[in-house]
Amino acid sequence: MIQLVRGFRDILPDEVAVWQHIEQVARDRFECFGFSEIRTPVIEQTALFQRSIGENTDIVEKEMYTFPGSRETLLTLRPEATASVVRAYIQHKLYAKDPVQKLYSIGPMFRKERPQKGRYRQFYQINAEVFGIESPYMDAHLIFMLVRFFEALDIPGLRVHLNSLGCPECRKAYREALQAAFIGKMDLLCSDCVRRMDKNPLRLLDCKVPGCREVVSDAPSMSDFLCADCSVHFQTVRAGLDAMGVSFEVDPRLVRGLDYYTRTAFEIQTDALGAQSAVAGGGRYDGLVAQLGGPSMPAVGFAIGMDRLVELVLARHPAGVRPPELFFAAMGAAAWEWSFQWANLLSEQGIRVEIDFSERSLKALMRRADRLGAKFVLIVGERELAENTASLRHMETKEQTAVPVDNLVAAVKETIRASDS
């Protein structure tokens, strides 16, 4: 038997209900905050990710699914969404209509990472990006929206980690300070970090290798190097969060795994996940739109890891498909044919209906209705039909009412509605 590819997974119907619920809450909430959905393809030119995420990052160095396209271009399965959304913003000149665009998207990302719990090679993200707003209040607003979204899903033990990565100017001094701090400790660093020391010493702060973590534990902090403007920006983000009652921790080691971030960087973590503790991450990327060929345009955004979020929701709320509202239990061929027609009609009317296609006894039918968790069963026999009635049985209360079959739709709808309220 041909099996699933390692690092990939199926999401089975029981669990899909939770995915749909999360997607629905995201759509409802984000739209209230003025966001519209954008959908971009899962394949882009490799160069897009090399130029945005950065050459000396884990993602670009070793995690991308890349393959030849037509002619000389290499193509890549998107490892993240921001680069694609920025490309679309520039390509379709969305800024010409209105530089301020608030966009969200939901979909799969692909990274060739080592598969483990909470880490897949195809995983799903909900992304939000805001273009054209430089104000630090936007950063605070976005984090507020994110935290409230998690609360709406009843996620426990959330922690907001916050840092500022400064701008290219003040970061230069910081990079030099990091290089100076690490240069004497090269023999304690992993080979990746040794290699990155030159071009990208900030990456060392993010390295998960224990030896490297030790080395960076007393490294200088970006906050001591922020220029006046970046410093005010960071202060205002914090003040904005305070004003809205969002608690957070300033985490000077937080750098994120992508090169395009400027100023604000944040991550939402929870203890409930074990090692893979980040459920969302984001930050400001004021230079990226221009870097990818667009106008100079500030931007800020985040990505929520749906796979981990589903796990958190499932831990509190068990999954399951939605049970049928109405199960037809027909006795005899004429009653079955009658039921078959009405089952189709009621499904069309927006009622979740099940009908059994085998000939079974009433007892067996009732057992099946019970196993499916059906709310009501409509019991129909030849005699009932002749009398123009059928029995509608409430499975929980076991109450049974006679309903007129010539007015079935209205009667069934009415009964279901009454039992819901």
279 is an interface residue for ligand ATP by CB under 6 A: yes
| C-beta of residue 299 within 8 angstroms of C-beta of residue 7 | no
* Edge-to-edge strands, sheet with 262-270: 36-37, 101-110, 122-131, 299-305, 278-284, 262-270, 158-164, 249-250
User: Cβ distance 205 to 265 under 8 Å?
Assistant: no
# of chain residues touching ligand ATP (CB under 6 A): 18
Position 125 contacts ligand ATP (CB under 6 A): yes
Which H or E run contains 161? strand 158-164
324 binds ligand ATP (CB under 6 A): no
**123 is an interface residue for ligand ATP by CB under 6 A:** yes
Instruction: Residue 125: name the closest of 110, 150, 107, 145 by CA.
Output: 107
Q: What is the DSSP letter of 134?
A: -
Determine the interface stretch with ligand ATP among 36-44, 192-200, 303-311, 395-403 (rule: CB under 6 A): 303-311
* Span from 83-91, 100-108, 119-127, 210-218 in contact with ligand ATP (CB under 6 A): 119-127
Tokens coding 46: 């490799």
> CA-CA distance, 65 to 3, in Å (whole number)?
20
CB 100 within 8 A of CB 129: no
**Binding track over 73-92 against ligand ATP, x by CB under 6 A:** -------x------------
**Per CB under 6 A, 284 contacts ligand ATP:** no
Q: Where are the alpha helices (DSSP H) in 44-190?
A: 46-53, 58, 82-91, 94-97, 136-152, 168-182
Q: Does 305 participate in binding ligand ATP (rule CB under 6 A)?
A: yes
Q: Which of residues 172-211 bind ligand ATP (CB under 6 A)?
A: none
| Identity of the residue, 287 or 301, whose beta carbon is nearer to ligand ATP in the bound complex | 301
**CB of 203 vs ligand ATP, minimal distance in Å:** 12
Contact pick of 209, 278, 319, 372 for ligand ATP (by CB under 6 A): 278
* Candidate segments 86-94, 230-238, 277-285, 365-373, binder of ligand ATP by CB under 6 A: 277-285
Nearer residue to ligand ATP within complex by CB, 128 or 140: 128
| Min separation Cβ 337 and ligand ATP, Å | 50
Residue 48 touching ligand ATP (CB under 6 A)? no
Q: The dihedral of CA 7, 13, 18, 21: what is its sign?
A: positive
The CB-of-111 to ligand ATP minimum distance in angstroms stands at: 5
307 binds ligand ATP (CB under 6 A): yes
User: Is 342 a residue that touches ligand ATP (CB under 6 A)?
Assistant: no
Among 51, 87, 102, 111, binds ligand ATP (CB under 6 A): 111
Buried b / exposed e across 300-310, counting CB within 10 Å, b at 16+?
Answer: bbbbbbbbbbb
Give the separation between CA 391 and CA 402, rounded to whole angstroms.
Answer: 5
Phi, psi of 334 (to 5 degrees): -65, -40
Q: Does 303 bind ligand ATP (CB under 6 A)?
A: yes
* Segment holding 302, helix H or strand E: strand 299-305
Q: For residue 119, state whether it binds ligand ATP (rule: CB under 6 A).
A: yes
State the residues that interact with ligand ATP by CB under 6 A. Answer: 80, 111, 113, 119-120, 123, 125, 256-257, 276, 278-281, 303, 305, 307-308
